[in-house]
Amino acid sequence: MSLSHGLKIVRSEAIWIRALLLALVCLALFAGNSAYAQNSGTIVGTVTDPTGAVLGSAHVTALETATGRTRSVTTNDQGYYVISSLPPSEYQVKVEIKGFAQAIRTGVLLQADKTLSVDVTLNMESTAESVTVSDAPPQIDTTTPTISQIVDQERIVELPLNGRNAATLTTLAPGAVNAPANGAIQSSTFGNQAVGGQAAAVTISVNGSRQTSSNYLMDGSDNMDQYTNVNQPFPMPDSIREFSVQTSNYSAQYGGNSGAVVNVVTRSGTNRLHGTAFEFIRNSALNARNWAATSRDTIKRNQFGGTIGGPVFLPKLYDGREKTFFFFGFQGTIFHSASATNRVYLPTTANLNGDFSAMLSASNPANPLGRAITIKNPVTGQPYPGNIVPTSDFDAAALNTLKLLPSAASPNGLTSYIQPNAPQNFHEELIRIDHTLSSHDRITGRYFRDTYINPAIYENGNILTYKDGFPNISQNLLFSESHIFNNSWLNDFRFTRSSVDGSQNPPSNAPNYADLGVNMYQPTGIPKAIESINISGLFSFGSYPFGKFTRVNYIFDDDVKWVHGRHSISFGGSVQNAGLDVMNNYRRFGSFGFSGDATGYAMSDFLLGRVRSFTQSSGQFQNARNTIWSLYFQDDYHPLPRLTLNLGMRYDPFRPWNEINGRLELFSPDAYAAGRRSSVYYNAPPGLLFPGDQGFPRGGTNASYKNFAPRIGFAYDVTGDGKTSVRGGFGLFFDSRGISQITQAIVSNNPFSPSISITTLPGTFSNPYQGLSSHPPFPYPAPADFTFPLPVTVLTFNPLQKFQVPLSYNWNLSVERQLTQQWSLRTSYVGSSGRHIRRDMQLNPGIYIPGDPSIFGNPSASIMSRTKYAPNYSNINMLTQTGASSYHSFQAALQHRFAHNFTVQASYTYSKSLDNIPQNQTLQNGGGGSFSQPIYMSGFSDFEYGASPFDRTHIFNGSYVLTLPSFNAVPRAARFVIGGWGTSGLLSASTGDAYTIFTGTDVAATGAAPRAILQGKPYGGNGCATTTTACANWLNKSSFALPLPAVGTNPGTYAAYPYKYGNIGKGALRGPGFVNWDVSLYKNFGAAERFHAQFRAEFFNVLNHTNLSDPVATINSGGFGNILSAGDPRIGQLGLKLIF
């Protein structure tokens, strides 16, 4: 989407939205503003004389030591000063006033999103000309209620990171836990298609929030995919200065999501030219074998790149020292996975001559199934004599398909082939320019691009190797400007364009069905594709057709800061114009299945062209738009020198996404009861409405303009020396951006994606449309008289239109203490209560009818034929905001800032997270049938209340970086051997996650997901051995049983049975715990201050501890109660860095 197109979206919005955007832009043009708004820090303090009296009009200057840039303010009448919007860095603070000696405070380390108190006492001028204090000020927060964790550059660069993905360090924050429990990497999905596959961030739940409730920023500006509500990629570690993870009661400046705020600050240049070059290599040489594998993995990964940054200096042309700085970073990744050896059963030479006689004997070595089969004529139903099929009956398209397959390699057709895997390529670039226009104006420009390419594969002569490619490009462009009006007023403005361009591409040499001689419609103007040909149990091939998934956001932010007396006030707003454009050709080419129903054997079905299942659709297309905006006001008030009150209000209105071509639907029970039909598609069943129908709201549901989120907090400096604080706060946080996923799936329904899906096709493979009354190409868009095949599947917002935005009440109370000059400790009680959380439920559940002959003695009878809205409707999946959650925790954080050659961070969380959201919905936004009881049961919602799937009672995370002394006093040879060594590590340990035992079969005959009956001790007695690949006794299987099934002749007995949906609670069982230690050992060579090389050896799970996965939790599964997989074993990689 172009910039002009994005601006058209802005103009199409309501007048008051346009006015807000115009006001922000005008303010920016008038005032100017910086990259130092939401990714910045603030230095505050009070200047006093030796008696404690405050000193007004003192001149305070903060000097950034790396660049030489300065910011100056003057203390007010209360001796109070605020220097806001400072980039995270090390500063020197100088205070001057006539009649007093100058005071200089060095080593002032300011971190992102932090407010640092630097109080200064000035001596009389006769006492000394200047007093310099080199001790760093206490790092205790004495001014805000926010609980946050800073991950500094030392950790980002030195800690071992598998895949060099700094986002994995977000779990260092107390209250953060991987969700789902296996720490899966986030990716965006659209239906069945991946639209963002590169490593983005470990999905985390923070303080009981959903894993899509965290807000990710880069340099203070949005770094989210607004449509799927997940983050875009992090830059590589060498391009990041630091990032903060704010987890509780953050300022009203932040919002839109109710979970954590993760703010990544990219590196900028300094007054000296600095750079790096690096390469990391991973292969199997240093790896261990996974517990569940028979050999070590063969993955090979090369990561290489470098950075350079410094002042813009052009001899005799421009000297940008202390004024203009640049930074550039690049990283490339080449990922090789071993080619797989696959085994399939192909037609034998005998089969190609019509001879299937080997199938008459189960023991015949040429029989691949091991059971006797008589091949019957699909036309007459009579057996072919001797299992000999006339080759004249073979289907022409099937014979053409055989030309693309290798020949069978054995008498029974068993054939091995190599599935090649082309290298996957990742590369990213970041460039940043910072320029000081004047003492009042600074500007920043930054561009980040992350490209992932997974190539398509098809080896001519073997269509079995056919595989799609998935390129994906994420981009983030930022321009910001900061303007200082005077000592009290400052303005920050940011413009951001972020985009994700995902696609799926068939191989360039791929055929389509027409090339095989199939007489059917095939799309033109896009690459050819074979979607799916499946000969059941024998062989299959195909992949997705061409698709393009584009998301573009244009974001305008403006923040104003005003210091008035003891009030530090900030206010501002944000406008985001977000768009999603999808061209998904899924099923447009068609798919075929051959099962053996026609002849008795799937291979002969295929050769005769007898199709069991055939599907073809019109694809899935979407053009969704939204304008997301917010306003905030924050006042940090200091009524007393040691007390700060934090008062804020945020406004986060919700406006649903709008499909600009009307591809939305809504089911209305009232309209159904009244027999009212759509005036847009008048053949739709009663109750199904579309945009343009009376009462159909824009975007499919009502907007919400009542989302005012108050924030209140306090911070008290107990001892007055900045070393002990008591802090606390309470606030309301809305998930106003997180309800968009439902409109993604609607476009796959009729009439937006007309399709045919047929079992027992009357035609043949060569002529699949034979005997069909309608078939593709369908008119698109669908005409008003479109015929809806019954029963209809619907995905709808709450038909009562009582949409409520998900929200969370957050609170905390903390005590923080500086134990020594370097050690500090924070202990906190942190809680949250979620309301109106998304839950998808089945509005048309199956209804058990005692004595109904359609189900008694026939447990496989169709559930959907016995529903309230049959026969017009099958599944009516409804999004509601009826979920609730509760979280309580004790959290502790211990830190030693870098000094004496080491730094340590450690956090511990003791917590409990509960919710009433079905387990699979919590992690996957599941469909409507995932409740364990149907919604007409009075207690169905309470039945889902239990431990959240990501709930872990005890969580510990720690990190350390240690460097040995330089040993300058020892001889050079000895110093070369023993000097320059360092080590770093990450330690993680937690108790098991919560899971639930399901039946896996609908024994209650209602379409729900019943749970098991627990009738004894749930766990096995001996745990599991981690030295073998069999773990069959984690659960005591005899303690679990199925509820009484809905079959038999005595419905009264069934109806009276108390536990027909199971009695085990949601999340009642716990999986194995988790223990992991990642270690890095490195050696520096050369002069550390000028040029040096660093050799690194990094090991992930260095102890090769087996972290078992959860057991199979479905009773009707063959592996029930067994643990079948485990986390990564020890993995090693080597690296070399050149640093100057």
For tokens 């998301």, the residue is 551
- The two three-digit tokens of residue 538, written as one number: 């024998």
Positions of CATH 2.60.40.1120 in the chain: 29-133
Tell me: the pLDDT tens digits for 606-653? 999 999 999 999 998 999 999 999 999 999 999 998 999 999 999 999
Lowest mean pLDDT among 235-239, 296-300, 661-665, 741-745: 741-745
Amino acid at 917: I
What is the model's pLDDT at position 359?
A: 95
- State the fold for domain 29-133: Immunoglobulin-like (2.60.40)
CA 940 to chain centre: 29
CB within 8 Å of 331: residues ≥ 6 apart? 164, 236, 238, 239, 303, 304, 305, 426, 427, 428
C-alpha to C-alpha distance for 190 and 741, rounded to whole angstroms: 9
Nearest to 626 by CA among 545, 733, 722, 739: 739
What is the model's pLDDT at position 531?
A: 95
For tokens 């108390």, the residue is 1058
Q: Is the pLDDT of residue 748 over 90?
A: no
Q: What is the dihedral of CA 135, 137, 139, 142, to 10 degrees?
A: 160
C-alpha to C-alpha distance for 620 and 606, rounded to whole angstroms: 29
Positions of CATH 2.170.130.10 in the chain: 151-266
pLDDT, mean of residues 1049-1064: 56
Decide if domain 151-266 falls under CATH 3.40.50.150. Answer: no
Helix 3-12 × helix 15-31 angle, to 10°: 130
Question: Which residue did the predictor score with more confidence, 936 or 805?
Answer: 805
Nearest to 904 by CA among 1013, 1028, 969, 987: 987
Q: Is the pLDDT of residue 984 over 60?
A: yes
3-state SS string over 488-531? CEEEEEEEEEEEEEEEEECCCCCCCHHHHCCCCCCCCCCCCCCC
Residue 815, beta-bridge partner list = 726, 827
What is the model's pLDDT at position 412?
A: 94
**Got the DSSP string for 798-810?**
-TT------EEEE
Average pLDDT score, the chain: 85
pLDDT, mean of residues 967-983: 81
CB within 8 Å of 379: residues ≥ 6 apart? none
Beta strands per DSSP E along 672-775: 688-689, 708-717, 724-734, 755-759
**What percentage of the chain exceeds 70 in pLDDT?**
87
Q: Is the pLDDT of residue 18 over 50?
A: no
CB within 8 Å of 856: residues ≥ 6 apart? 1046, 1047, 1048, 1049, 1051
Tell me: the pLDDT tens digits for 860-886? 444 445 678 888 988 888 888 889 999
Q: What is the dihedral of CA 854, 857, 860, 866, to 10 degrees?
A: 30
Query: Any idea how long the chain is?
Result: 1140
Please, what's the b/e burial string for 117-131 (b: 16 or more CB within 10 A of its CB; e: otherwise)?
Answer: bbbbbbbeeeeeeeb
Nearest to 41 by CA among 251, 228, 322: 251
Q: From the DSSP assignment, how many helices (H) and strands (E) are in the chain?
A: 11, 62
CB within 8 Å of 69: residues ≥ 6 apart? 63, 322, 323, 436, 442
Please, what's the b/e burial string for 455-491 (b: 16 or more CB within 10 A of its CB; e: otherwise)?
Answer: bbbbbeebbbbbbbbbbbbbbbebbbbbbbeeebebb
3-state SS string over 18-52? HHHHHHHHHHHHHHCECCCCCCCEEEEEEEECCCC
Tell me: the pLDDT tens digits for 418-466? 988 888 888 999 999 999 998 889 999 999 999 999 899 998 889 999 9
Tell me: the pLDDT tens digits for 809-832? 999 999 999 999 899 999 999 999
**What single-letter DSSP state applies at residue 355?**
B
pLDDT, mean of residues 1098-1107: 94
CB within 8 Å of 482: residues ≥ 6 apart? 32, 33, 34, 35, 36, 37, 85, 441, 442, 443, 490, 491, 492, 493
